[in-house]
Structure 1
Amino acid sequence: MKKISLALAACAMFAFASGAFAADLAAGKAAFDKYTCASCHGADAKTSVMASYPVLAGQHEDYLRHALGAYKRGASGAPATANIRKNAIMGAMVAQLSPADIANIAAWLSSLPSPLAVRK
Structure 2
Amino acid sequence: MKREILIWILRIAASVILLQTLYFKFSGAEESIYIFTALGVEPYGRIGSAIAELIVVILILIPKTTWIGALSGIGVMTGAILSHVFVLGLVVKDDGGLLFSLAIITLLCCLGLLYFNKNKLSNLLN
TM beyond 0.5: no
The structure with the largest helix share of the pair is 2
Q: Tell me the TM-score normalized by structure 1.
A: 0.36
